[in-house]
Structure 1
């Protein structure tokens, strides 16, 4: 697959034009079922024409002027309807202006190709959508697998090579999980990294944004562009100066699939051999966060119910995905005192993990398992609920503690399905994390070239 940075190099060298990029991307989008809820064809063509003219005049807005990307249909793009993956919003008004991050990318000349599919209201880690269909990867496996959610379409748009990058949202794992299932790099930022104006909310305390791409370097470049910068200030650090803590409590979980565990340990052995300090030990704050979620419930669910209750209990409620509706209703009666305790405990745990890691990078599997088969989950709601919770169980930790995280492919299992390792830092240390992940990527690439 051609990366975003490689595409920028091709534009700089005159080997392609924005017109050609958009023509190819539109053709691929039209040939890929269920990936997009809407394709912004006319805007893309018009923007590409203007961008091509700028390149001919030497007046390009940035190195990425004219490069198409995909947008999760939870972000406003002027002139399109933000459906949030729900037919209950079929009559929602058209957006009159771009979301803040879309406006930032447009100022650099990047072109939104279309609005990608997602779990209804972004409320599941598996990615199924009964209203708009469920996008699937083009990896040849024994049976159809879930794409991961909720940012399913954004991940598949990149996995299939329709675009080199895409934007998703992540409240409990919605970037990191589909990245893991599809062999992509996915970066979930700290919640205050980007402006959230024009983003349809789910749980305002936990909602965050981030990019999908084939490389960490592309994610770093798109992260900068989403904040209005032409050039990323983040650069790789010396791997020998990095400290990693592999959470032994998670890596020893009996529910962890063997390939997920082995591929993570092999990755860390490579980093250790290259000079990184790798420590394997239980992380107490992680264990206590898992206990808090299991015992008292999910803060994101409480906030989602508060926001979506009028839809669930209104006349449109029966039109919703029954699985999403049931999960939302399950928290309807939670005592406000329980929510207050969760918030108090959350603050304590955020402080605790800051002290416990002491500047080190936390390492865990992104998901305990590879992408599960889709068909059994369509018909068995109890199975769906159980698998969904297990799929979200590790990424929810970082979400509750507002930890930025980068999911990096770690290998394949015996049938060719992707596994993934999640690297996380504490709240606000996004630049440190991205710098480290650039060093990780360079080390892994060098190891691949030697084999």
Structure 2
């Protein structure tokens, strides 16, 4: 029988062999992880368990506090910040559940992009094709699960930062309803939109991690019956510019679902998407809130910030307070309108991203191409954050490059969404 310590040592040996070019992990905790692994093995021998996460190898994004460590959030600006006084709330809960936290994974600076590039600490190559981007901002998280150096990775999702790397690397990524999981000890991007979610190779592992982080009892999912499932497809704005490979995989999946007896209907939300775009015309909610968080060093440490991140933060810092307040008031009414619109379907289904992971080098060399790709890649996922919804990305099988299927449901329906995802996951595996 393979022990937790055996699993851990295999991963640590693999990481040691590439230590001179490590870009997936920002830092490792080998001794603490070994102690946690040994404790998990001792409990197993004694017939004791702390729950289904006991002994699982977990990585955390480099924006979660670990006691005694500096939280850099992917930026050299924060390297000289004081060490964290205590673990982030989710780190503490994972430890209490017996998870073996082996290290922190890399991310986009301040979590401000869906592409995954970080010029300060290096960008991990996509797990399927290292010449392609990993997706962001939880870039290392997606790669670590896909390559097998983590069984579960914890990321954050403000506009798609869990689901995009999940889609690009061929794993599952879950974005819970905002504020379901406590944000204490997580360096913020935009507090109104931030969610903390897991990435894993299957829906069940995501559900277990989510429950632990939310302070709930972990449970085994009962896959939701697909016959009669009401699936809305929001064709229109969210399907423009879709890559052929993505479109083919998505339509094939709809065909599979239809043959199970699921009821698939077009479900228009374009009017609400337009209204949200008009409400955020001056700048995105994420950019405005991030500009306030980083105001103290936008000028004094400008040379230390990725220019692609710095540009948007500075631009958004000029938005007047009354514009932001009106924007947030309008958002509240649109959230209510979207909730009413989704009441007649069980889930929305659409591609997680309009395109598969593009090549990294052209994006690094061309700022216009970078911004265009970032916009397109974030387009589908950010809708769930803007309208305070819950969402999951599932990998679609038999694609030349990873393609994600995104399911979106009303806020608060997290458990039911995961059960629906488990049912669809089983169908895709059959």
CA drift at 1:412: 5.7
CA drift at 1:198: 0.8
Partner of 2:13: 27
Distance in 2 (alpha carbons) for counterparts of 1:291 and 1:53: 54
Partner of 1:270: 256
Q: Which residue, out of 269, 278, 289, partners 1:292?
A: 278
Q: Are positions 1:173 and 2:157 aligned together?
A: no
Partner of 1:421: 405
CA drift at 1:225: 2.4
Partner of 2:309: 324
Distance in 1 (alpha carbons) for counterparts of 2:141 and 2:15: 12
Unmatched segments (≥5 aa) in structure 2: none
CA drift at 1:358: 1.3
Q: Are positions 1:260 and 2:249 aligned together?
A: no
Do the aligned partners of 2:279 and 2:331 also contact (CA within 8 Å) in 1?
Answer: no
Partner of 1:123: 112
Q: Which residue, out of 196, 201, 223, partners 1:214?
A: 201
CA drift at 1:40: 0.9
CA drift at 1:136: 1.2
Do the aligned partners of 1:86 and 1:131 also contact (CA within 8 Å) in 2?
Answer: yes
Partner of 1:42: 31
Judged with a 3 Å threshold, the aligned counterparts in structure 2 of structure 1 residues 288 and 150 are, in CA distance, closer, same or farther, namely same
CA drift at 1:201: 0.8
Judged with a 3 Å threshold, the aligned counterparts in structure 2 of structure 1 residues 31 and 285 are, in CA distance, closer, same or farther, namely farther
CA drift at 1:265: 1.4
Distance in 1 (alpha carbons) for counterparts of 2:418 and 2:59: 22
Judged with a 3 Å threshold, the aligned counterparts in structure 2 of structure 1 residues 268 and 223 are, in CA distance, closer, same or farther, namely same
Cα offsets for 1:317-341 (capped at 9, x unmatched): 2111111111211212112232123
CA drift at 1:27: 1.9
Distance in 1 (alpha carbons) for counterparts of 2:110 and 2:178: 18
Q: Are positions 1:437 and 2:421 aligned together?
A: yes
Q: CA RMSD in A?
A: 1.8
1:216-235 equivalent positions in 2, closer than 5 A: 216-229=203-216, 231-232=218-219, 234-235=221-222
Do the aligned partners of 2:52 and 2:208 also contact (CA within 8 Å) in 1?
Answer: no
SS in 2 for 1:344: helix
SS in 1 for 2:316: coil
Partner of 1:182: 169
Judged with a 3 Å threshold, the aligned counterparts in structure 2 of structure 1 residues 68 and 79 are, in CA distance, closer, same or farther, namely farther
Q: Does 204-213 or 421-430 show the bigger shift?
A: 421-430
Q: Does 49-58 or 172-181 show the bigger shift?
A: 49-58
Do the aligned partners of 1:296 and 1:342 also contact (CA within 8 Å) in 2?
Answer: no
Q: Which residue, out of 298, 304, 310, partners 2:296?
A: 310
SS in 2 for 1:60: coil
Q: Are positions 1:201 and 2:188 aligned together?
A: yes
Do the aligned partners of 1:124 and 1:149 also contact (CA within 8 Å) in 2?
Answer: yes
CA drift at 1:421: 1.6
Q: Are positions 1:53 and 2:42 aligned together?
A: yes
Q: Which residue, out of 338, 344, 354, partners 1:353?
A: 338
Do the aligned partners of 1:285 and 1:349 also contact (CA within 8 Å) in 2?
Answer: no
Partner of 1:282: 268
Cα offsets for 1:361-402 (capped at 9, x unmatched): 112211111111111111222221221122111111111111
| Equivalent pairs, count | 426
Partner of 1:11: none
Do the aligned partners of 1:169 and 1:207 also contact (CA within 8 Å) in 2?
Answer: yes
Cα offsets for 1:212-253 (capped at 9, x unmatched): 011112211221222345532642222124211001114641
Judged with a 3 Å threshold, the aligned counterparts in structure 2 of structure 1 residues 30 and 228 are, in CA distance, closer, same or farther, namely farther
Distance in 1 (alpha carbons) for counterparts of 2:142 and 2:285: 25
Do the aligned partners of 1:165 and 1:213 also contact (CA within 8 Å) in 2?
Answer: yes
Q: TM-score, with normalisation over the residues of structure 1?
A: 0.90
Do the aligned partners of 2:237 and 2:270 also contact (CA within 8 Å) in 1?
Answer: no
Judged with a 3 Å threshold, the aligned counterparts in structure 2 of structure 1 residues 94 and 294 are, in CA distance, closer, same or farther, namely closer
Q: Does 234-243 or 271-280 show the bigger shift?
A: 234-243
Do the aligned partners of 1:285 and 1:352 also contact (CA within 8 Å) in 2?
Answer: no
Cα offsets for 1:329-358 (capped at 9, x unmatched): 121211223212321221121111111121
Q: TM-score, with normalisation over the residues of structure 2?
A: 0.94
Partner of 1:3: none
SS in 2 for 1:240: coil
SS in 2 for 1:248: coil
Q: Are positions 1:333 and 2:318 aligned together?
A: yes
Q: Which residue, out of 223, 230, 233, partners 1:236?
A: 223
Distance in 2 (alpha carbons) for counterparts of 1:323 and 1:396: 19
Q: Does 78-87 or 108-117 show the bigger shift?
A: 78-87
Distance in 2 (alpha carbons) for counterparts of 1:405 and 1:75: 22
